[in-house]
A and B are shown apart, each in its own frame.
Chain A
Amino acid sequence: MRALKTAILSAALALGIAGAAQAAEGVHIPKQSWPHAGIFGTIDKAAAQRGFQIYKEVCSACHSMHLAPIRTLAGIGFKEDELKGIAAGYEVHAGPNDAGEMFMRPGVPADRFPSPFPNDQAARAANGGALPPDLSLMAKARVGGEDYIYAFLTGFEEPPPDVHVMEGMNYNKVFPGHQVGMPNILQPDGVTFADGTKATVEQQAHDVATFLTFVAEPHLDARKQMGVKVILFLLVLAGLMYAVKRKMWSTLH
C-alpha cells in the first residue's frame, strides 16, 4: 500500500501547489451550490436555457461569444427545429456571392453566435473605452469560475463613501480594482422566463453562470460520465492486479 500512500501524497502536493498558485490573487469569492458540481453533477438544463435567454436578451447586446457554434445549444436540450429557429433569428455576415459582394443571411445552427461589434475597436468605442470580454470561456478564464460570474453579477453596489468612482465606471465588490465599465445590468424581472421562474437578480445571475459554464465546457456532462466509468474500471483492474501481485510474490517469502 506504499504506492497508494506515495501517490496520495504526491497528488496532495500537486494540489497544494496549484491551489497556492491560484489563491494568490483577488477578492474572496463565495462558493455557490451548483447542480453541475461534484462527481455526478450535470448541467441544469432548465437553468442553462434560462441563462441562454438572458444572454440573448441582455448580455449579447455588448458581449460576443464567438467560439461557440449555435448548435452547441443542443447540449442543453434544444431540439433541432428549435435550434434552426434560434439560428434563423440571427443575421449572419456571409459571402462573397457570385457578384463578389458580401451579404447578410439568416443564421443556421452551424454558424457561430454573431458578435455585436465588428471588431474590438468598435466595441470599445461604443462602451466608453471598455472592451466587453468574450463570454465563450468566461467560466474558465476567471479565478473562481462560475462562482466568480455569480459574485460579479450580484456584486454591484453603492461605493463606500471613501471610494471615488471614475466617470463612466461602476462599483463592483468582486471586480479587481472594484471599478468596472459594465453597468449593473441585471434588474429584477428584467427578463420574463417562459417556465414561470421568478426572475430575481440572484436567479438570473445563477442561470447565466450555469449557461456560461456550459458554453465554456460543452462536454462537461459527457466528461464526468466517462470519468466515473474509467475510474470504476481502473479500481477493479487495480484490485485484480493487487491480487495477482500478492499471489505471485507469496511464493517468494
Chain B
Amino acid sequence: MAQVQATKFKNPVVNWIDSRLPIFTMLDHEYNHYPMPRNVNYLWAFGAIAGIMLVIMIATGLFLAMQYSSHTSLAFDSVERIMRDVNYGWLIRYVHANGASMFFIAVYIHMFRGLYYGSYKAPREILWILGVLIFLVMMGTAFMGYVLPWGQMSFWGATVITNLFSAFPIVGDPIVTLLWGGFSVDNPTLNRFFALHFLLPFVLLGLVILHTAALHVCGSNNPLGIDPKGPQDTVPFNPYVTVKDGFAVVIFMIIFAVFVFFMPNYMGHPDNYIPANPLVTPAHIVPEWYFLPFYAMLRAIPDKLGGVLAMFGSIALLFFLPWLDRSKVRSCKFRPVYRQFFWILAIDALILGYAGSQPAEGSWLIIARIGTFYYFFHFLVLLPVLGKLERPRPLPNSISESVLKGGGAIAAGAHAKPMEKA
C-alpha cells in the first residue's frame, strides 16, 4: 500500500482529508497556482462568466421546477402563478429567462474570442471540441426550456424544430415520433422536454468540468498566441486572475440586472404570453434571438433536407476547425489577412441573425443565402487556403518581452511550471 502523503495544510482536518482524498491539493494546484499568461485580456473572463451563468441557471431552474407543472393544461397557468403568487417568483423566472440569453451572449463572445486568438489549435483541439459539444447541448437545453411555458411560440417553435428531423430519409419520421411521444406536439412532448431540460444542464456541468480539465492540461491561450516560456510569462490564477475575472463578472451582472429588472421581456416574444393553441399559427414563427443565424441558414436552402443539413452542418464543421485552419500561428494579431476575414465572418453572423428574424422572402432571403454561402466558404475554403498563402507577421520571443518591454517582476507565488503538460 502506498504511504499516505504528508501534505502542507495547516488545518489538521484538511490535512487528514487531503492525505486520503487530495481534493484540497487539487484545488490548490488548479486554482491557486494555475499559471495564467500575464497578458490575457478581459475577453478571457467570459469562460468564467459562462460558468457562473450555468450555475445561476441551474439554481433558478431548480426553484422554478418546484413550482412548475409539465402538463399542457397547467403549464402556462403554473408559470403565471410563479409570476404572480410565488414569493419572488417573478424574480426567479426573469433571472432564468434572461439568464439564458446572457449565457448565450457570454458563450458567443467566448467562442469568437477562441476564433480570433486561435485557441482551438494544437494542443487545444480536444478543449475546443468539448466546447462545441457544450454549445450543442446548450442549444438543445435552451430550445426545450423555451417550450416549457407552453405559449404560442413555445408550441410552434417546438413544432417547427422537431419537424426538421422528418427531413432525414427513413429514420426521420421515427425520430420525430420519438421526440413527440405521439403524432403531434402534445402533452407527452412537453413532459419529456421538461425531463430532458432538467437533465441536460447536469450533462453540461459534466462537459464543463471536462472542458476545464482539458484547459488545465494545455494551459490558457493568450492574445499573442505563443506559449509561456517561464514564470516571468505567467501569473498565478489566484489572486491575479480571480480579481480580474471578478471585476468582469460584476460588470456582466450589471448588464444582466438591467435586463432582469427594467426590460425583462425585451429578448422574449410577446406571442409567448398567449397560451399555446394548435389551431392558430402565429404570423411569423421566430426562435429565440440566439438561434436566429442558424434559423436563417435553415430557411436559406430551398430544399428541406438541404436546409436541415446546412443548419446542423454549420455547427458540425466547428468540430473540424482545428484541422481546417492550416496556419500554425494562433493569434489574429500576427495574421493580417485572416484578421480581416474574421471580422467579415462576425458581421456575416450578425447579418444572418437579422435575416433570421425577418420573413423568409424577397431580399432578406437572398441575403440569407449569400450569408450562408459565405459562412461555409469561410470555414471550408478560406481557412485552409489562407493557412497556406498567408505570410504571418513575426512572432515575439516571449510574452514578458512583448508585454513588459524587457521582462518584469515575477509575480509573488509564481513557482509553477509554465506548461502543465500532464
B109 at the interface (CB under 8 A from A): yes
A234 at the interface (CB under 8 A from B): yes
Q: Which residue of the partner chain, among A14, A39, A244, contacts B262 with CB atoms under 8 Å?
A: A39
Q: Which B239-254 residues sit within 8 Å CB-CB of chain A?
A: 239-240, 243-244, 246-248, 250-254
A141 and B274 contact, CB distance less than 8 A: yes
Q: Cα distance A118–B38 when bound, in Å?
A: 69
B359 and A249 contact, CB distance less than 8 A: no
A238 and B284 contact, CB distance less than 8 A: no
Q: Which residue of the partner chain, among A3, A22, A39, contacts B248 with CB atoms under 8 Å?
A: A3
Q: Which B142-170 residues sit within 8 Å CB-CB of chain A?
A: none
A11 at the interface (CB under 8 A from B): yes
B199 at the interface (CB under 8 A from A): no
B19 at the interface (CB under 8 A from A): no
Q: Which B271-309 residues sit within 8 Å CB-CB of chain A?
A: 271, 273-274, 283-284, 286, 289, 292
Across-interface contacts of B357 in A (CB, < 8 A): 17, 20-21, 24
Q: Which B72-95 residues sit within 8 Å CB-CB of chain A?
A: 77, 80, 83-85, 90-91, 94
Across-interface contacts of B235 in A (CB, < 8 A): 252
Across-interface contacts of A18 in B (CB, < 8 A): 266-267, 289
B334 at the interface (CB under 8 A from A): no
Q: Which residue of the partner chain, among B80, B284, B404, contacts A24 with CB atoms under 8 Å?
A: B284
Q: Cα distance A172–B168 when bound, in Å?
A: 45
Nearest-neighbour CB distance to chain A for B199, whole angstroms, equals 27
Across-interface contacts of B247 in A (CB, < 8 A): 3, 238, 241-242, 245
B91 and A137 contact, CB distance less than 8 A: no
Q: Which residue of the partner chain, among B43, B250, B273, B354, contacts A238 with CB atoms under 8 Å?
A: B250
Q: Cα distance A22–B109 when bound, in Å?
A: 24
Nearest residue (CB) in A for B108 is: A10
A253 and B404 contact, CB distance less than 8 A: yes
Q: Which residue of the partner chain, among A2, A6, A226, A252, contacts B38 with CB atoms under 8 Å?
A: A252
Nearest residue (CB) in B for A38 is: B262
Nearest residue (CB) in B for A247 is: B243
Known: A17-B292, A25-B284. A3 touches B359 (CB 8 A): no
Across-interface contacts of B94 in A (CB, < 8 A): 223
Across-interface contacts of A116 in B (CB, < 8 A): none
B270 and A22 contact, CB distance less than 8 A: yes
Q: Which B50-67 residues sit within 8 Å CB-CB of chain A?
A: none
A94 at the interface (CB under 8 A from B): no
Q: Cα distance A244–B41 when bound, in Å?
A: 17
- B interface secondary structure, majority: helix
Nearest-neighbour CB distance to chain B for A217, whole angstroms, equals 8
B246 and A241 contact, CB distance less than 8 A: yes
Nearest-neighbour CB distance to chain A for B171, whole angstroms, equals 32
A68 and B84 contact, CB distance less than 8 A: yes
Q: Which A124-167 residues sit within 8 Å CB-CB of chain B?
A: 133, 136-137, 140-143, 145
Nearest-neighbour CB distance to chain A for B56, whole angstroms, equals 14
B252 and A141 contact, CB distance less than 8 A: no
Across-interface contacts of A245 in B (CB, < 8 A): 243-244, 246-247
A84 at the interface (CB under 8 A from B): no
B284 and A227 contact, CB distance less than 8 A: no
A235 at the interface (CB under 8 A from B): yes
Beyond A14-B105, A140-B273, A235-B254, 11 additional contacts (C-beta under 8 Å) are A2-B42, A14-B101, A14-B289, A20-B357, A39-B262, A136-B80, A137-B80, A137-B273, A141-B271, A224-B261, A241-B246
Q: List 28 A-B contacts (CB under 8 A).
A: A4-B251, A6-B43, A14-B101, A14-B267, A16-B350, A17-B289, A17-B353, A17-B354, A20-B354, A20-B357, A21-B286, A21-B357, A25-B283, A136-B80, A140-B270, A140-B273, A141-B271, A141-B274, A176-B283, A223-B261, A228-B261, A231-B257, A241-B243, A245-B244, A245-B246, A245-B247, A252-B240, A252-B409
